[in-house]
Amino acid sequence: MAVQTADAVAPPTDPNAPASRAVRRWSWVWLVVGTALLPFAGLQTLIPLTAWLAPVFLLRFSRSQRAVVGLPVLVVAISCALLVGLRNGFLPVVDGSGYYLFVLTLGFGGALPFAVDRLLAPRLDGISRTLVFPAAVTTAELLGTMGNPFGTAGSTAYSQYGSLPLLQVVSIAGIWALTFLVSWLAPVVNQLWERGWSGPGVKAPAMLLVAVTAAALLFGGAQLAFASPRSETVRVAALAPDRRLIDLAYSAPDIGSGDPSGRAAVSKEYFAPVLDDLFERSAREAVAGARIIAWSEAAALTLQEEQEDVVARAGRLAREHGVYVQVSMIVQLSADRGSDGGPVNENHAVLLDPQGDIVWDYLKSRPVPGDGHEAGPGVIPSVDTPYGRLATIICQDDFFPALVRQAGQADVDILLVPSSDWESIAAWHGQQAPFRAVENGVALVRPTRQGVSLATDGQGRLLGHKSDYFVSDDQTLVVAVPTQGYDTWYASLGDGVAYAVAAGLVVLTVAAFRPGRRPQGR
C-alpha cells in the first residue's frame, strides 16, 4: 500500500490549474534545492551528479506551480545560478547592464525546456510523457549552438567528463546522446514521485531508462576493455610559454603606431625573450627524443614584418633535429591593417616538417569575441607522417563538434589543439577537450597557456596532464601518444542524432495536440 505524502496529492486534470496548497508549498523547497545544485551542473565547478539531480527538483517545481508563476520564477532562478557559475570573469563579456541581459537571455533559454514540458507532458502518458523534457533540452542545445560564438560550451553532456564508460557513447551519437540521457532522469523520477511505483505509466519509463543507461555503460566498458589503442607511440612535447616572460610580453606598450623602429624596439624587448626561450626548450626536447613538438596557442607574440623570420627559424630547428614543430603565435598586424576598425592581429599555428618546409599555416576558425582577429576558412589541415596522420585546430575550435569532425572524416590519428585559457575556465575547458577525441577516435595533444595542458588517447584516457601553469615554472608536458586512431560512428553520422531528437519533439507535439486529446492527471 502506497503511503501518501504532502507532495503526492493528486492534482486536477487541468495542467494550468493550481496544485494543492501542500504541493505548492513544497515546490518552493524543491526550487531552492535545484537552484543550489545548478551552479555545479555545467560550469567552472563541476560535480557530475548535480547535472542529473538539479533538473529533477526544478521540474518538480515547474509542474507544481501555475505556468504564469513557475516559468518566470525559473528564468530568474536559473539566471541567478548562472551568475554564480559565471563568476570571476568566466566569460569574456564586459560587466554592466549588457552582461546581465546576456545572463537573463541564457536563463530564458534554460527555462525553455521546462516550459515545453509544462505544455506537452500533461497531454501525454507513459514513456512518451517522459521523453518531452530530454528532447526539449537536446533540441534547445542544438538550436543554441547555431550562430553562437561559443558553440557547444556549457552543454549538459560535458558535465559527465569523469565517466569514461559513459563518455564512449559520444563516439556513436556525439554529445547529444549524453545530454538526452542525463536530462531523461528528471521526468522519469517526477513520474514516480507523482504517481508512486504502482501508478500508471511509471514502471515502463523507469525500466527503459535503466536499460538504456546500462546499455550505454556496457558498451563503454566493452569499448575500453576490448578496443583500446594497441599501436606504437610517439614522443610528443607540448610547450606553453614561460609564465614570467609571456606576462611581460603581454604588458608591452601599444604598437599601433606605424613607426617601424618603435615596433622593432618593442619586439626586441618584450617579444624576443619569449621566442628565444621557446626555441631553446624545443631544441632541448628534440634532443631528448620528442618527434613532434607543439606550442600552445598564443605562445609567442610577433610582428607581421617579423613573421617570416620566426617561421624560418622554426624550419631550421625542425630540419636540424629531424622533427615536426608546430609554432603558434599571435601576429601583430601593421597599423594600417587595423586602422579601419578591422582585425589587429592573426592567430596562427604553423607546422614545419623534418625538412624544414611549411606543411600548413592554420588560422583559428572560431575566435573568441573580442580577440581582435578574423576567423580562418574553417578547413582543418592534415598530413601523413611516420607517426600517423596529424591535424590541428586552435583552442575554442574544440567547442564546435561539426568543425572538428573533419578530423574524424580524414582518418586523423593525432590532433594538436594548441590552446590559451584563463584561470577561471582552465579546468572546465580542459574537461571538455577529450570529448572531441572520443567523437573522432583521435589522440589529442593540448598544450595550453594559462590553463591545463593534457593529452588523451582516442577513448579519452588521460595520457598526460599538467594543471599547474599558475604556480609552476615548468611549462612543458612530455607524453607518449598512440600513432593510430580508429573509426567512429560519429565521424560518419555527425549530428544526425540531434536532428532526429528535434524531429521526435515535433512528433510528440503533434501527438499531444491531436484531436480529442485532453490533458491527463499526474
Q: Tell me the domain boundaries of the chain.
A: 20-227+496-512, 233-485
The whole-number pLDDT of residue 14 equals 46
Q: What is the chain's length?
A: 522
Query: In whole angstroms, what is the distance from residue 419 CA to residue 430 CA?
Result: 10
Residue 339 has pLDDT above 60, yes or no: no
For residue 5, pLDDT over 50 is answered with no
User: Tell me: the pLDDT tens digits for 144-154?
Assistant: 999 899 999 99
The whole-number pLDDT of residue 494 equals 96
Give the pLDDT confidence score for residue 341 in this predicted structure.
61
Residue 507 in 3-state DSSP? helix
Interval 391-418 mean pLDDT: 97
Per-residue pLDDT, averaged over 464-485, amounts to: 93
Give residue 2's pLDDT: 44
Q: Using CA atoms, how far apart are residues 8 and 12, in angstroms rounded to an integer?
A: 12
Distance, C-alpha 146 to centroid of its chain: 15
How far, in Å, CA of 209 to CA of 164, rounded?
19
pLDDT, position 44: 84
Give the pLDDT score at 327: 98
CB-CB contact of 347 with 364 (8 Å): yes
Instruction: For the domain covering 233-485, report its CATH number.
Output: 3.60.110.10
Q: Using the predicted structure, report yes or no on whether residue 30 has a pLDDT greater than 60.
A: yes
**How many degrees, rounded to 5, is the angle at CA 294 between CA 293 and CA 298?**
150
Q: Which residues of 76-94 are buried (b: 16+ CB within 10 A; e: fewer)?
A: ebbbebbbebbeeebbeee
Integer Cα distance of 501 and 135 in angstroms: 6
pLDDT (tens digit per residue) in 482-495: 999 999 999 999 99
Alpha helices in 379-495 (DSSP H): 401-409, 426-440, 489-493
Q: pTM to 2 decimals?
A: 0.91
Residue with cell 564508460: 165
pLDDT of residue 297: 97
- pLDDT tops 90 at residue 176: yes
Helix H or strand E segment including 52: helix 48-64
Selection from 23-37, 117-131, 367-381 with the highest mean pLDDT = 117-131
Nearest alpha carbon to residue 347 among 415, 300, 404: 300
Residue 179 DSSP SS3 = helix
As a whole number, mean pLDDT of residues 17-22 equals: 60
For residue 336, name the pLDDT band (cuts at 50, 70, 90): low
User: Do 464 and 479 touch, CB atoms closer than 8 A?
Assistant: yes
On average, the pLDDT of the chain sits at: 91
Who wins on pLDDT, 515 or 504? Answer: 504
